[in-house]
Structures are given as structure tokens and as C-alpha cells.
Amino acid sequence: MKLKTMSVAIAALFAAAGSISVSAQQAPAAGSTAAKADDSEKLEKITVTARRREESLQDVPVSVTAFTADTLSKNGVPDITAVAQSVPNTTLTASRGTNSTLTAFIRGVGQQDPVAGFESGVGIYLDDIYLARPQGAVADIYDVQRVEVLRGPQGTLYGRNTIGGAVKYVTRKLGPEADVRLKATFGNYRQADIVATGSAPLSDGVRVGGTIARFGRDGFGTNLANGDQNYNKDILAGRLSLEMTPTAQLFVRFAGDATRDESNPRHGHRLTPEATSGAPVLSNVFDSRANLTTVLGRKQQVSQGGGSALFEYQINDTLLLKSITAKRRDTSYAPIDFDALNKPTFDVPALYKNKQFSQEFQLTYTGKNMQGVAGVYYIDANAYNKFDVRLLGTSTFTEDDVDTKAWAVFADASFDVTDRFSFSVGGRYTEDQRKASVLRQIYLGVAGSPGMGNPGATLFRTDTNLTNGELDKTDKKFTPKLSASWKASDTQNIYASIAQGFKGGSFDPRLNLVGTRLTVAQAKKGFEPEVITTVELGLKSQFNGGRILTNAAVFHSDYKDVQIPGSVAIDTNGDGIDDSFAGVTTNAGKAKIKGIELEATARFTDNFSMSGMLGYIDAKYTKFVGAGNIDVSSQRGFQNTPKKTANIRATYEWPSALMGRGGKFSLSSDVAYRSDTQQFEFAVPILDQKAFSLWNASLVWSSADNKLRLGLHGKNLNDKLYKIAGYNFPTLPSVADSSVLAFYGNPRTVSATIEYRF
């Protein structure tokens, strides 16, 4: 489907919204001044906590899209990446070579390199707890109350400042009565998912609950080198919580969760023939010939987990004090085969370890004409990586250890000047300290280094040895936010805002002082913070008694000192042949980003409803300093940022009884569109993804008492092959089999679900 066709369809939806509204106003019912929609015809009211307090989605002056648990269930949403199909100007994908590391971009801002030293431009939150690292962030959807996606800089309300936006998982609180639920999903590729949830009161003020989930599926392809499945899934996850209300004023929640992903390595598809043997490109993009399957003798594994303690104390009718304490850690054994060949020409076994501790205190005030939040936030996080680059007869060992200690104070207050007009002012002061050590050594042979399991390796040279926190920098920044909201009518909310976002600087974890001829003094400078200032104007509307909702926003961002991670080929032995790579991260860029976002939902009849979204973004670098201090901005673009995104969905519901139960069927179908997308800041025609559309559909029956739900879900029913990530190494000498690899989104999948609530 072309975007023009989809744009016309969405425009028609908006036009229909207006026409129905006019019709209702011009045809008043007897005894009233205007016809009103029946409550049963109204759209579901969605409550969000985008401003740290519960508000209607239509009232909050923020660009936010929310998905309730019921919506996610009915649409068969498998994990967080699928949410992006319905959110304008948003990209959420599994990172290169992984099942569970998240690459997130919102309005052109993000980060796709998951190694230590680089922080995400999009914040991921689990019950208001910021996840400092992207490993394990591709979470399957279970045990949630809703998912919120906020677009634009966040910092005056959230514990950790995020420059591009935020994705929030909000889990549900335990109910006052015993509750047991079971969900099973079975599909093609031998998919078998089981989620069991239970909770019960232990006494009047104590409740306990837990969930255990297993997600499994065969691969979409095969590793022809060893017969393993490629793109398979094998995940076990669980969550346990204890909630207490010792007094009417105090609420306490202790929660813990853990996930283990033992899926096979997800190996990429070579887009070029093997140089030395001429082996052709494989016909199945999900097949591979990769030979690397273990790291330090272990198969690929990603394990993560954490615990948290929440205390909420209602001081009085207007003041709420909240404390959020959390610890998390994750470990990833990641065998990355950059050549995707059955020989050790370009392999990278890698180990990632991350841990974090965070503490946040909030004081929320809710008065008649004023509402606000003030808080203090602290995070102490460590990211540790070590890996070999086994290339051209050598093994280059890199070990990074990056400590982040940051604290911040923030406040945001809203004032109701009149019944119609309000404004809010907020600010945040942040101090980010990074301390890092980097060790880079070259060993002879491709059997690996001592650090990666080969104690007998022969050291050729040490290129970088900056230890004990020799790399040390602290960045300080105050970032303000100002917004105003005017209710032109009871159903029209106009808002304007200006907000600034900040992401601290750091050090490239792949520093090579020899190959790149950097001095220690230059290395210690690292790269500087990046700052974005976003101006936004929005309109949130309701028509026809709440049967039609429309949200529109235009924004303009001034993006400065953009951090550009990159790598350059280097000659490590002076023979004139590039035989390794070194990291070079600079604040090379300045950019202007502007865009439009439209979202609409309409219930035309009791049975038929439609929704749609349209995103347009014009992101251009105005400065991009390349090699030789030359501005190459005219030759650079934004990665993972398609200019146009769109989605249109139609849903038809009708009453129907099954198995002697009352209930109703719901048939929905949607088409999601994304225009041309670059994988990097520079164009790689063989790797970049052309515009494409995905067609999804679901048929769901729910019993009248909501205890039983049966569903049939089809994803990517048009079986579109589309790239979501890639590696680009086209300049290595032919003996190393220069390699360009692509990773693909899921092919057509069909699944059946059964959910039962006892």
C-alpha cells in the first residue's frame, strides 16, 4: 500500500469525525440542545500517568500514545517492538544479532550501539524504574496494565532525563480478591507460549501475586553450518510482588522479576557472495552459515532481573510522598559472526554485564488550582564489556568498564489560571559523572585472547591501556520546560510547549590510541553531551459525545552536538593493509528536526470503529564533520527514522454466544506503513530498507463475564521481507571476505490464543 492511499484513508477518518460532529450538533434530540452519544457508544477512556499523576489521555498536554492491556490482548501484540507499528515517528526493533536488546528511536533521536559508554536516547521504564541498558529490554507483553509511549524530551517529571522520549511498562496492582489467569498461545513455527498469573489476599492489608511465562518458537531459518535453528525463541520469565497497606495512608510494594533468554544466536544474512570461494548469497534470508555459536564456552544467553521497593505515603489530602528504590543487573553471552561464514574470518565473541542501583524521592501536590511534582533522583550504574575481534589472523581484545553516577533534582508545577487556561513550568538540574577504563590488545592467531578463554595466546601489542578510571568526566546541565494549555471548549484542548533534553557525554569503549593516533590527553576528553530543544503545538479533540477522538501535534527540534558513534578501519601491523577497526565517536552533528503527528479513533456505530495514525518527520543534519574536518552534512541522513509512518485499523464487533456463554466477536485488521529507512547516517543501498507495509488481522471472541477469551491472530499476513538492522563492512581486503549483513523482521505468523480467568 502506498502512503498516499493510506493518507487518504486517514484523512477520510478525520473528515468523518468532523461530519459526524456537525450532524450531531444539527440534529438535537427532543428535550435537549444536542444529540448525545449513548455511553455504550463512547470510546474507552484511557488514563495515563505521563505527568506523574492520573489524567485522561485527552486532557494531558503531552504527545503520548497509550495501549491498555485489553487492547494489547485483542490485537495479539507479542512484544514491545510491535507497539511501534501504531505510534507515529517511532522505531522499536531488536538490535543487530539479538532477540532481546532494544534499538529505540523517537522523532529521530536514539542509539543503536548497545556497548558500554553509549546511553540510549529513549528511556525505557518498568513501573517508573529507568532501565540503564538496552540489553533485555525487548520484553514480551505480559502482566501489564498498559504501555505508554511519550514523544519528546522528558526530564522534569521522570527520574532519569531522556532526550528523545520514553516507553513505560505499567504493571497492574493486585486486586482485593483471589485472581488466577492462564493464557496459552500456539502458532506456526511450533510456537508455544504459556503465561500463568495468580494473586491472593493474605489478610486485609496484604496481597501477594506472581506470574511465570514461557515463550518458545522454532526458527524461521537454519544455520547451515551446524543445523541449529536461526531466529528461534526460548525465553523463561517471571515476576513476583507483595503489596501491603499497613494504614489507610501508606501503600508498599516489593517486586522482583527475572528473565532468561536461551535462544540460539540470531545470525545475519550475507548480502554479498563470499569473495574467496564465490559461495552465493543464500536464497532464504533467515538462513546462515555462521560458525560462531559460543562465548567462553557458553551458548548465547541473556539473563536479567531486579528488585524494587515502592513506598507511597499520603501525608494529607494534597500531598503524596513516594520513594522508589531499585536494583537491576543483566548478563549477555553474545556470539556475533560478522562474516556469516563457516570459517573464522571475522568473528566477535562478546560478554556484556550491567548493573544499576537507583533511588528516587517524589513529593506530589494536588490542589484545587495547582498540581505539581518535585523530586530527587540518583543512579549508580556499571556497564562492563569484553570481546575479541578475530580478523585476518589476529584477535583484538577489548575490555571496557564504565561507571555512571548521576544525580538530579527536578520539579514541575501546573497552574489553573481559569477554568479554561492553565500553564506549567518545570526544570531539572543534572550532574552526570562517567569514569571508564579501556584495555585494547592484539594477540596473534584467531583462537582468541586470554580474556576470552585462550590463556596461551601470544601478545603482539597493547594499543590502549587506560585503567582505574583514568577516563573521568562530569557534565552538568539545567534543562527547563514550559507549557500552556487552553480548553477552547469542553472537547477541544490546545497546548503549546517548549522543552529541553540533555544526554551526558562519555568515552568511546573501542578507543585505539595507536591505530587512530590519539594522544592520552585527547582520549580523556571523550565526547561531549548532546542537547535538544523541542517546540510543540498540539490539539486534542473529542466529538459527538466522546465517540470520536483526534490528536494532532506539530513539532520542531534544534539538535546540537549530536553524538555520532562510528568506526574506522586501521592497519595494526604497518603492512599497508587495514586489518582491524577502532571506535571513533564525535559530536559531529547539528540538526533540525520538524514533523507532524496525527492520531484518530472513531466509533461510528455500536459495532464498527476505526483508528489511524500518520507521522511525518523531516530530519536534516545542518552540520556533520567528517574526516579531514570537512562538513559532509549534505551526504548524511538520520538512521532508523523513516520520513513517513502510518497505520489504519478497522474493527467490527458483534454479539455471539459460544459454549453456552454470552459474549461478542471482534474482528480487526490493520495496515502499517513505513517509508524508506537508512540503517546508518550514510546511505547503503544494498542494506537500507525501501518503503513497505505490513498487514495484520485478529479475530477474538470474549465471553460476557470476561473470563474466557479465544483469539486468532495473523501478523505480516502479506509475508513481507523487510530489514530491521544490519552490519556494514564493505572495505576489508578480499582475503577477509568483506561483509554486509542484514537482519529481518518476522515473516508471516499465525497464532491461536486462549485466555481464561478463574
Surface-to-core class of residue 51, CB atoms within 10 Å of its CB (0-12 exposed, 13-18 middle, 19+ buried): buried
pLDDT of 290 above 60: yes
CA 355 to chain centre: 19
pLDDT of 718 above 80: yes
Of the listed ranges 55-69, 166-180, 393-407, the least confidently predicted one is 55-69
443-459 pLDDT, tens per residue? 999 899 999 999 999 99
- Quote the pLDDT of residue 31: 37
- Quote the pLDDT of residue 156: 86
- Quote the pLDDT of residue 133: 87
pLDDT of 482 above 60: yes
Assign 309 a pLDDT band (cuts: 50, 70, 90).
very high
CA 298 to chain centre: 28
Tell me what the mean pLDDT of segment 595-602 comes to: 96
pLDDT of 592 above 80: yes
Assign 576 a pLDDT band (cuts: 50, 70, 90).
low
Tell me what the mean pLDDT of segment 415-433 comes to: 94
Classify residue 232 as left (phi > 0), alpha (psi -120 to 50) or beta. Answer: beta
| Average confidence score pLDDT of the chain | 88
Q: What SS3 class is residue 374?
A: strand
486-507 pLDDT, tens per residue? 999 988 999 999 999 999 999 9
- Quote the pLDDT of residue 54: 65
The arrangement of strands across the sheet holding 129-130 comes to 64-68, 146-151, 165-170, 122-126, 129-130
- Quote the pLDDT of residue 44: 61
Assign 736 a pLDDT band (cuts: 50, 70, 90).
low
Q: DSSP state, 285?
A: T
In order of 42, 619, 635, the CA distances from 556 in angstroms are: 34, 10, 22
pTM, entire model: 0.90
Q: DSSP state, 348?
A: E
Catalogue the E-assigned strands of 268-369: 269-270, 294-295, 298-299, 301-314, 319-337, 346-366
How far is 134 from 121, CA to CA, in rounded Å? Answer: 11
pLDDT of 19 above 50: no
What is the residue whose three cell numbers read 463475564? 705
Is the CB of residue 598 less than 8 Å from the CB of residue 630?
no
Nearest to 693 by CA among 751, 644, 650: 644
How far is 645 from 174, CA to CA, in rounded Å? Answer: 37
pLDDT of 40 above 70: no
- For 230, the grid coordinates are 536461526
Phi, psi (degrees; rounded to nearest 5) at 627: -60, 140
- Quote the pLDDT of residue 48: 59
- Quote the pLDDT of residue 312: 96
Domain ranges of the chain: 3-757
How far is 385 from 395, CA to CA, in rounded Å? Answer: 16
- Quote the pLDDT of residue 16: 42
pLDDT of 9 above 60: no
How far is 200 from 210, CA to CA, in rounded Å? Answer: 10
More confident residue, 508 or 232: 232
H or E element, residue 495: strand 492-503
Of the listed ranges 36-50, 135-149, 693-707, the least confidently predicted one is 36-50
Phi, psi (degrees; rounded to nearest 5) at 16: -60, -40
Q: What SS3 class is residue 450?
A: helix
Assign 737 a pLDDT band (cuts: 50, 70, 90).
low
Q: What SS3 class is residue 34?
A: coil
148-176 pLDDT, tens per residue? 999 999 888 878 888 999 998 888 889 89
What is the residue whose three cell numbers read 537454519? 222
Contacts of residue 625, Cβ cutoff 8 Å, sequence gap at least 6: 586, 588, 589, 631, 632
- For 45, the grid coordinates are 477512556
- Quote the pLDDT of residue 53: 61
Classify residue 117 as left (phi > 0), alpha (psi -120 to 50) or beta. Answer: left
Question: What would the DSSP string read from start to end of 208-241?
Answer: EEEEEEEEEE--SEEBTTT--EES-EEEEEEEEE
How far is 473 from 468, CA to CA, in rounded Å? Answer: 14
Residues forming a β-bridge with 304: 259, 330
CA 309 to chain centre: 24
Fold of 3-757: Maltoporin; Chain A (2.40.170)
Q: What SS3 class is residue 21?
A: helix
Nearest to 549 by CA among 503, 609, 496, 486: 609
pLDDT of 640 above 80: yes
How far is 194 from 566, CA to CA, in rounded Å? Answer: 41
Contacts of residue 517, Cβ cutoff 8 Å, sequence gap at least 6: none
pLDDT of 36 above 60: no
Q: What SS3 class is residue 40?
A: helix
- For 463, the grid coordinates are 594499543
Tell me what the mean pLDDT of segment 523-535 comes to: 92
Residues belonging to the chain? 758
Q: Which amino acid is at 387?
A: F
Tell me what the mean pLDDT of segment 679-708 comes to: 94
Planar angle of CA 482, 486, 487, nearest 5 degrees = 145
Q: Which amino acid is at 108?
A: G
What is the residue whose three cell numbers read 560458525? 291
- Quote the pLDDT of residue 572: 63
Nearest to 116 by CA among 511, 624, 522, 514: 511
How far is 379 from 369, CA to CA, in rounded Å? Answer: 33
Neighbours of 27 (CB within 10 A): 9
Q: DSSP state, 341?
A: S
- For 148, the grid coordinates are 505508554
Q: Kind of pairing, strands 146-151 and 129-130?
A: unpaired
Neighbours of 33 (CB within 10 A): 8
Nearest to 401 by CA among 492, 264, 506, 244: 506
Neighbours of 655 (CB within 10 A): 11
Of the listed ranges 96-100, 217-221, 630-634, the least confidently predicted one is 96-100
pLDDT of 274 above 90: no
Classify residue 163 as left (phi > 0), alpha (psi -120 to 50) or beta. Answer: alpha
Contacts of residue 533, Cβ cutoff 8 Å, sequence gap at least 6: 498, 499, 500, 501, 557, 558
678-689 pLDDT, tens per residue? 999 999 999 999
Q: What is the dihedral of CA 672, 755, 69, 615, to 10 degrees?
A: 0
Q: What is the dihedral of CA 240, 94, 745, 689, to 10 degrees?
A: 160
How far is 354 from 331, CA to CA, in rounded Å? Answer: 7
Of the listed ranges 564-573, 642-651, 665-674, the least confidently predicted one is 564-573
Surface-to-core class of residue 705, CB atoms within 10 Å of its CB (0-12 exposed, 13-18 middle, 19+ buried): exposed
Of the listed ranges 106-110, 196-200, 654-658, the least confidently predicted one is 654-658
Assign 14 a pLDDT band (cuts: 50, 70, 90).
very low
- For 366, the grid coordinates are 494536588
Q: What percent of the chain has pLDDT over 90?
A: 66
